A and B are shown apart, each in its own frame.
Chain A
Amino acid sequence: ETGVTQTPRHLVMGMTNKKSLKCEQHLGHNAMYWYKQSAKKPLELMFVYSLEERVENNSVPSRFSPECPNSSHLFLHLHTLQPEDSALYLCASSQAPQGNYGYTFGSGTRLTVV
């Protein structure tokens, strides 16, 4: 399999649940990212991992917890989310320093918090 793969594609969870989003890249990139896309808002950067180390946490609430066990995998652990956290969560990877092609994105996980 090639590119950036995200699972699951859709997720519905209650506010007391704990779930995880998974991202896997097969491009040999050394940086991975989590972005949040809400309606009528820009894509919001959540976390940046470069060489498996978190280099940026963009003031994201602690109910979102990232994990990067190796350069090919990235997780986003979710717990006690709020309805306003419902959004499309996009994973991306790149070869840092950034080349001429920017990021390669996955298809995203559509999260609904009920």
Chain B
Amino acid sequence: DQQVKQNSPSLSVQEGRISILNCDYTNSMFDYFLWYKKYPAEGPTFLISISSIKDKNEDGRFTVFLNKSAKHLSLHIVPSQPGDSAVYFCAASATGTASKLTFGTGTRLQVTL
């Protein structure tokens, strides 16, 4: 049973436009959510996170929105840049689970010129 789902395996966006990556979760115990970015031949790198006590967190061009009632979060990148082309993983954790992160399958973002 996949507890964190990224239903779009890929997304193509034009440079300068907004990229919206979506993530759904099923475990109501999750209270902390993160987005990671992964380039080929590299490990994932932390991008942005949000606690369940918030519904929005912004860091420069990146904003994460959390809708707890829908068990849905999204990552907005605006404006999108070619260097943003990568695989984006959504991850979630629950307090008291030995810092264990549960990951989604990832969404490959391609930002075109």
Contact = CB atoms under 8 A, between A and B. Distances in A.
B89 A97 contact: no
A31 B99 contact: yes
B41 A107 contact: yes
B105 A108 contact: no
Given A40-B9, A43-B89, A102-B91, A50 B43 contact: no
B59 to A, nearest CB: 11
Interface residues of A, number: 28
A74 interface: no
- Interface hub of B9, B32, B43, B45 (most chain A Cβ within 10 A): B43
Interface residues of B, number: 25
A103 B102 CA distance: 12
Contact of A45 (B43, B46, B100): B100
A27 interface: no
Interface in A31-45: 31, 35, 40-43, 45
Interface string B68-103: 000000000000000000000101010000111111
A103 B46 contact: yes
A49 to B, nearest CB: 10
A96 interface: yes
B49 interface: yes
Nearest to B38: A105
B8 to A, nearest CB: 13
Interface of A: 4, 6, 31, 35, 40-43, 45, 48, 50, 55-56, 90, 92, 94, 96-98, 100-108
Contacts of B32: 98
Interface string B20-50: 0000000000001010100001111110010
A55 B99 CA distance: 11
B100 A48 contact: yes
Contacts of B2: 42
Contacts of A6: 43
B32 to A, nearest CB: 7
A42 B99 contact: no
